[in-house]
Structure 1
Amino acid sequence: MKFWKMNGAGNDFVVLNNLEEHLPVELLPQIAKTLCERHLSIGADGLMVVDAPTQGGDYKMRFYNSDGSMGEMCGNGARCICRYGYETGLAGETQTVETTAGIVTGKRISSRLYRIRLNDPTTVKLDASVEVDGVRYPCAYVELGNPGIPHAVIPYAGLRQADENELRELGRAIRWHKDFPKGANVNFYELTGEDSLYERTFERGVEDFTYACGTGTGSVVTVLTLQGKVSGHGVKVDMAGGQLMVDAERNGSRIDSLYRTGPHRQPVSHRSHQHRLQGRGHRRGAGTPRAVKSLYVRPQGHTECVCKP
């Protein structure tokens, strides 16, 4: 089995090409949980699986969170998958990627820099304040794409100096808040200058803070642009994993399109020869099990690993 390990603004992903591997779709959630485990496996924020397109795109991207749940889309993942698509010959410098949340387009700027058009905001509520432990927090709610990727956007003064445990507990409480039936990715932000801000995201499916969240940056800039707090052009968003540039095209009371530009780091190509996927009740030739309780990758023979800048 061959995979790539990729990193975009600190978000890391495992990429599998199912056009070559032919893995049963019903096994992919457990494969995601197995490969994304950081102590006993490769470790990643999520698994991206390339599959055959069905809507005229260059290819389809299935995205799975590290807990095995399926995500609608991942912004940083989309930038990484576009580099994968270009370098493996699946697509050219401009490409169209099918996702569960809709079509995403990407453009190669340089060997490490890609520009992505995110799914458009389909739901925007600028006043969606939430109450946690008797305290009401100002909050906006944004969904990108259809079905929408849910984001809660919350201003937080002194975000860089915030107590990590307190912020994590608040993020967890809002992520599961009753006002958000689908759950929510929780985006805390603090304006740091003209058209610049610092942002942290407690991600649904990872259930913790990640180094970056691509759709989160788009959601925050959507809210701030509509509120008139940023221009929407070349907005610099700093996160633990680095900086992304976001452009939001405003049309009255809505955002018509969102673009994000950012780099990637150290894609790793790995091949395990004569591999075998095993799970309880899954024997070679027995077909796909109805339920796989455990799954692991057992490489047999030699392996090769290639790092690229």
Structure 2
Amino acid sequence: MNSNSPAQKLRFTKMHGAGNDFIVLNGIDQDLSNITREQWQKLAHRQFGIGADQILLVEKATRPDADFRYRIFNSDGGEVEQCGNGSRCFVRFVLDQGLSSKNPIRVEVAHTVLTLKSHPDGQVEVDMGAPVFEHSHIPFNSNGLASKQEFHEILYALPTSNHPGAHDDWVGVVSMGNPHAVQVVGDIDSAPVKEEGPFIEKHPAFPRRVNAGYMQVISRNQIKLRVYERGAGETLACGTGACAAVVSGIRRGMLDSPVKVQTRGGTLEISWGGIVNGVAQPVIMTGPAVTVFEGETEI
């Protein structure tokens, strides 16, 4: 949309999943094809726009095995592949808006199709697909990085800054449709998420950047988690980050499925069956999806 275009009315729904908040837009009944990256940024801006961690766009499916297509834009305006908390809000949105009466619903995202199921108690269950460990598919380049094996997981040493004497963070690397670097910390509250997260996010080992996860293990079935997300900064919850943390923790021999993941915005439950006969099993995430308000704005 150029600067000479007339203002466009935009209907939206504000939602959150465990505090990870979204602007959800119906791209089936309104034309959103010309919205620019700068306009996505303005909509997500917390002082000058509606405010959100991500913007979720509902569109018609482009493949026969899906009911809808689902696109995600970070608060910096960039489009990304996956958002776990957003997927739960997605299914709540399409059911509440009367766009579908199916349950479960199959949703097309960047590289796959997700199966989403709404429970009577308001919780939403998402089959997030299998975790990906192959470096070229994450993508991740480990050249020049020290590594060590811990149970079934290979950890890599990431320098936390360019300053001389800076320590390394040992991270497990996995993709849940988007890349994650997960490390274990002793105390989640004092973890240097805001200080080191931006450096890890843009580390050259990750050509598409990475989400930096900080996990404190409470018991074999409970963790606390903070995530510095690509293009959004630290959020109150990160669904794919919770999945990645649990997968990494199980592979490190620290956790047993299912795992309660306590984020700053709420609790998620993650189940993973591990690797069976050489095949990674799908990760199942269950958590809340809440509508905050509906409105109309002008762009």
TM interval, short-chain normalised: 0.7 to 0.9
**1:33 and 2:38 are equivalent in the alignment:** no
Unaligned runs of 5+ in 1: 277-296, 298-309
Pairwise CA distance, 1:111:
5.3
Select 1:140's aligned residue among 167, 172, 175: 172
Pairwise CA distance, 1:129:
2.0
Q: Would the aligned equivalents of 2:198 and 2:228 in 1 still touch at CA under 8 Å?
A: yes
Match of 2:194 in 1: 168
Match of 1:269 in 2: 294
Alignment of 1:1-309 (within 5 A): 1-24=10-33, 26-56=34-64, 57-91=66-100, 92-110=102-120, 112-123=122-133, 126-133=154-161, 134-145=166-177, 149-162=178-191, 166-206=192-232, 208-232=233-257, 234-252=258-276, 255-271=280-296, 297=299
Q: Distance in 2 between matches of 1:113 and 1:28?
A: 33
Pairwise CA distance, 1:160:
1.9
Q: Would the aligned equivalents of 1:106 and 1:117 in 2 still touch at CA under 8 Å?
A: yes
Change in 2 beyond 3 A, CA 1:201/1:230: same
Q: Which amino acid aligns with 1:99?
A: V
Q: Which amino acid aligns with 1:44?
A: A
Match of 1:289 in 2: none
Partner-residue secondary structure (3-state), 2:62: coil
Q: Distance in 1 between matches of 2:193 and 2:117?
A: 35
RMSD across aligned positions (CA): 1.7
Partner-residue secondary structure (3-state), 1:30: helix
Pairwise CA distance, 1:168:
1.1
Q: Distance in 2 between matches of 1:151 and 1:65?
A: 16
Q: Distance in 2 between matches of 1:114 and 1:28?
A: 31
Q: Distance in 1 between matches of 2:273 and 2:108?
A: 22
Q: Which amino acid aligns with 2:122?
A: R
Structure number with greater CO (CA < 8 Å, separation at least 6) is 2
Q: Which amino acid aligns with 1:46?
A: Q
Q: Which amino acid aligns with 2:238?
A: C
Change in 2 beyond 3 A, CA 1:205/1:105: same
Pairwise CA distance, 1:112:
2.2
Q: Distance in 1 between matches of 2:111 and 2:82?
A: 6
Q: Which amino acid aligns with 2:273?
A: E
Pairwise CA distance, 1:73:
1.1
Q: Distance in 2 between matches of 1:103 and 1:152?
A: 23
Q: TM-score, normalized by length of structure 2?
A: 0.84
Query: What do residues 135-171 of structure 1 show as CA deviations (whole Å, max 9, x unaligned)?
Result: 12211111123xxx11000111112234xxx431211
Q: Distance in 2 between matches of 1:111 and 1:84?
A: 16
Partner-residue secondary structure (3-state), 1:4: strand
The percent of aligned pairs where both chains have the same amino acid is: 29
Partner-residue secondary structure (3-state), 1:27: coil
Q: Would the aligned equivalents of 1:50 and 1:62 in 2 still touch at CA under 8 Å?
A: yes
How many pairs are equivalent? Answer: 265
Pairwise CA distance, 1:126:
2.9
Q: Would the aligned equivalents of 1:59 and 1:90 in 2 still touch at CA under 8 Å?
A: no
Pairwise CA distance, 1:224:
1.2
Q: Which amino acid aligns with 2:287?
A: G
Q: Which amino acid aligns with 2:40?
A: A
